[in-house]
Amino acid sequence: MSGSSLPPVTEIGPRDAASQAAFCDYVPQVFQRASFHLWRAWGGWNEDYRAFAVVEDGRVLANVSVTRMRLLLEGREATGFQFGAVGCLPSHRGRGLARAVMEAALDFCGEAPVLLFANPTVLEFYPRFGFTPWRQELFTAPHEAVPGGAPAPTLDLSDAGVRAGLAALSEEGLPVTERFGARGYSSISTWYAANGFSRPLRRLKEDAWAFAGVEGDTLYLDDVFTRGLFDLRAWIPRLIDRPIRRIQFGFTPERWWPEATAAGEDTKADLFVRRLSLSREPHRFPVLAHT
């Protein structure tokens, strides 16, 4: 399809309730397991989130969602954007609709860096729009521990007060990694919780919360939201309900576990970047900041 015959693209922002509802209806038609209904009801659609969609008769046919991100690149903060929910209804593919929404979203981003996490079916799609793949690493550390002390309480993100607390820690607190990370992405993490995809959120201290859970003999420590440094190691026995032998991190643990090792590529990440130059040191963008 030539550029001149591309269909019009609608920008859906935080106050466009009817179009948001159409977007929410579109998502499960393309991504079977994902839903935006509860996340939206929880106030997740904030000023940083907008969707670029081809809408016909009130139906979203194709979409690219754009989240404004406060990226951290080797300790330096930069405004960037993350794409998500990129797709087209199966009945309307091959007509240039995804191209139309990709181009509108990229126009919106201008010269700013853009990143996205793809999937194996679209590895040849994003390079058509100037994106290049970038390796993500898995980090693990051997660590033997047994449960001890009072278990860290589990926090419920369906509680608006808990969501507000997470937002404050995420915006004002210590980023979990500065090699390649972000600040202020609690509304993204909350999406995982709203869909039942996140590990439990545990309260270590008033101002230190962690998404973590044990599987087999491994503690998966997905993220840490805190106002300041604390002795994370001392809290491990209160995060586990059975003995563990190792920890896997959902982020680059240069701050929280410097002796953790890069254990191989995160083959499930499929990160693509545009106008973004990342650390040559191994890194993992926080898993609960992926859209």
Positions touching ligand COA (CB under 6 A) are 30, 62, 86-88, 93-99, 118-119, 121-122, 124-125, 128
Of residues 117 and 209, the one with the C-beta less far from ligand COA? 117
Nearer to ligand COA, 88 or 115 (CB): 88
Q: How far is the CB of 101 from ligand COA (least distance, A)?
A: 8
**Number of C-alpha atoms within 13 angstroms, CB side, residue 173?**
25
Q: How far apart are CA 264 and CA 256, in angstroms?
A: 19
Residues sharing a CB contact under 8 Å with residue 29, sequence separation 6 or more, in sequence order: 89, 90
Closer residue to ligand COA, CB minimum distance, 48 or 103:
103
- Closer to ligand COA by CB, 212 or 289: give it: 289
Q: Which is nearer to ligand COA, 12 or 174 (CB)?
A: 12
Residue (113 or 282) nearer to ligand COA, CB:
113
Q: How far is the CB of 172 from ligand COA (least distance, A)?
A: 31
The least CB distance from residue 5 to ligand COA, in Å, is 12
Q: Tell me how far, at minimum, the Cβ of 52 lies from ligand COA, in Å.
A: 13
**Least distance (Å) between residue 36 CB and ligand COA:** 14
> At residue 47, what is the residue type?
E
Task: Return the axis-axis angle of helices 186-194 and 160-172, rounded to nearest 10°.
Answer: 140
Least distance (Å) between residue 60 CB and ligand COA: 12
